Amino acid sequence: MTPLLLLALLQSPAASLGFEPGADSMLADWKQVSTYLNGLAQRSPYVHVDTLGRSTEGRPFLLLTITSPANHDRITAIKRGQKLLADPRTLTDAVLTELRSRQPAVILISNNIHSTEIASSQMGMTLAYRLATDPALTRLLDSLVVLMIPSMNPDGLDTVVSWYRRYKGTPYEGGPLPWLYHKYVGHDNNRDWFMVTQAETKLVTRMLYNDWFPEVVYDVHQMGANGVRLFVPPFQDPVNPNLDPALVAGINLVGAQMASALYDAGATGVAHQERYDLWWHGGFRSTPTRHNMIGVLTEAASVRIASPITWTVDSLRQPGRGVNYPGPWPGGTWRLGDIVRYELIASEALVRLAARDRLAFIDRFVGLGRRAVEAGRSGHPFAYVLPPPPAQRDPEAWSGLANVLLAGSVEVWRAAEPFTAAGRTYPAGSLVVPMAQPFRAHAKDLLEAQRYTPVNDRPPYDVAGWTLPFTMGVRAEVVAEPFTANLVKVDSVIPTPGRIEGQGEMFVLRNQTNGESRAVAALLAAGQAVTVAGDSLVVRGPQARRILGEQAALHGFTVRAVPVAAVAGKTLRRLPRIALYQPWTGNIDEGWTRWVFEQYGISYTTVHDSDLRRGQLRQRFDVIVLPNESARGLLQGVDSTRIPLQYAGGMGEAGANAISEFVRGGGTLVCLDGSSNFAISRLNLPVVNILGGGASGPQVSLFYAPGSIFGVALGGGSPVTVGVPDSLEIYFENSAAFTVEGQARALATYPAEPLRSGYARFQERLEGKAALVEVPVGSGRVILFGMRPQFRGQTHGTFKLLFNAVLLAAP
Ligand SMILES: [Zn+2]
The answer to whether residue 1 scores a pLDDT higher than 50 is: no
User: What's the rounded mean pLDDT across residues 101-123?
Assistant: 98
Secondary structure (DSSP) of 45-62: TTEEEEEEEE-TTS-EEE
Distance (Å) from CA 225 to ligand 1 centroid: 13
Q: How far is the CA of 276 from the centre of ligand 1 (A)?
A: 11
What contacts 604, CB < 8 A, 6 or more positions away? Answer: 578, 579, 580, 594, 597, 625
Mean pLDDT confidence for 770-790: 98
d(CA 339, ligand 1 centre) in Å: 14
* Neighbour tally for 245: CB within 10 Å: 9
Could you tell me the distance, in angstroms and rounded to a whole number, from the CA of residue 28 to the centre of ligand 1? 19
219: CA distance to ligand 1 center in Å?
9
* CA nearest to 125, candidates 208, 26, 258: 26
Q: Determine the distance separating the centroid of ligand 1 and the alpha carbon of 303, expressed in angstroms.
A: 13
- The answer to whether 168 touches 128, Cβ cutoff 8 Å, is no
Query: How far, in Å, from the CA of 113 to the mean position of ligand 1?
Result: 7
pLDDT score, position 467: 98
Q: Is 608 exposed, middle or buried (0-12, 13-18, 19+ CB in 10 A)?
A: middle
For the segment 492-530, what is each residue's pLDDT rounded down to a tens digit?
999 999 999 999 999 999 999 999 999 999 999 999 999
| 221 Cα–ligand 1 center, Å | 4
Cα 257 to ligand 1 centroid, rounded to whole Å? 22
DSSP label of 495: P
Query: What does the pLDDT read at residue 512?
Result: 97
Q: What is the distance in A from the centroid of ligand 1 to the CA of 111? A: 10
* Interval 764-785 mean pLDDT: 97
What separation in Å is there between the alpha carbon of 152 and the centre of ligand 1?
11
Check pLDDT > 90 for residue 696.
Answer: no
* C-alpha–C-alpha distance, residues 669 and 805, integer Å: 9
| 102 Cα to the center of ligand 1, angstroms | 36
- Is the separation of the CB atoms in 535 and 723 below 8 Å? yes
* 713-733 pLDDT per residue, tens: 999 789 999 999 999 999 999
Ligand 1 centroid from CA 50, angstroms: 25
* Residue-wise pLDDT tens digits, 258-316: 999 999 999 999 999 999 999 999 999 999 999 999 999 999 999 999 999 999 999 99
User: Quick one: pLDDT at residue 108?
Assistant: 99
Written as one string, the DSSP assignment of 344-357 is HHHHHHHHHHHHHT
* Residue (of 373, 474, 447, 484) closest to 91 by Cα position: 373
Predicted confidence at residue 215, as pLDDT, reads: 98
Compute, in angstroms, the gap from residue 190 CA to the centroid of ligand 1: 8
Mean pLDDT of the chain: 96
End-to-end CA distance of the chain: give it in Å, rounded: 75
Confidence of residue 701 (pLDDT cuts 50, 70, 90): low
- Say whether pLDDT at 5 is over 60: no
Which of 95-104, 124-133, 200-209, 694-703 is predicted least confidently? Answer: 694-703
Each residue of 398-414: pLDDT tens digit? 999 999 999 999 999 99
For the cut 70, the answer to whether the pLDDT of residue 237 exceeds it is yes
Q: Looking at the whole model, is its pTM more than 0.85?
A: yes
The angle subtended at Cα 537 by Cα 535 and Cα 543, nearest 5°, is: 170
* pLDDT, tens only, 402-449: 999 999 999 999 999 999 999 999 999 999 999 999 999 999 999 999
Name the band, by pLDDT with cuts 50, 70 and 90, for residue 703: confident
Contacts of 411 (CB under 8 A, 6+ apart): 433, 434, 437, 489
What dihedral angle (degrees, nearest 10) is formed by the CA atoms of 441, 443, 448, 450? 50
For residues 204 and 761, the model is more confident at: 204
* 3-class DSSP assignment, residue 599: helix
Q: Does the structure show a pLDDT above 70 at 21? A: yes
CA of 773 to the centre of ligand 1 (A): 35
Can you point out the beta strands (E) in 335-450? Answer: 383-386, 412-415, 419-421, 424-426, 431-434
The pLDDT tens digits of the residues spanning 207-227 come to 999 999 999 999 999 999 999
| Ligand 1 center to 298 CA (angstroms) | 9
Determine contact, residues 537/476, Cβ cutoff 8 Å: no
Q: How far is the CA of 547 from the centre of ligand 1 (A)?
A: 44
Task: Compute the distance from residue 493 Cα to the ligand 1 centre, in Å.
Answer: 33
Residue 522 CA to ligand 1 center (angstroms) comes to 39
Ligand 1: distance of its center to the CA of 183 in Å?
17
How many angstroms is it from 211 CA to the middle of ligand 1? 25
Task: Tell me how far the alpha carbon of residue 222 lies from the centroid of ligand 1, in angstroms.
Answer: 5
592: CA distance to ligand 1 center in Å?
Answer: 18
* Rg (the chain; Cα; Å): 27
pLDDT digits (tens, 9 = 90+) for 672-690: 999 999 999 999 999 999 9
pLDDT band (50, 70, 90) for residue 806? very high
Distance 254 CA to ligand 1 centre (A): 19
Confidence of residue 459 (pLDDT cuts 50, 70, 90): confident
Compute the distance from residue 336 Cα to the ligand 1 centre, in Å.
15
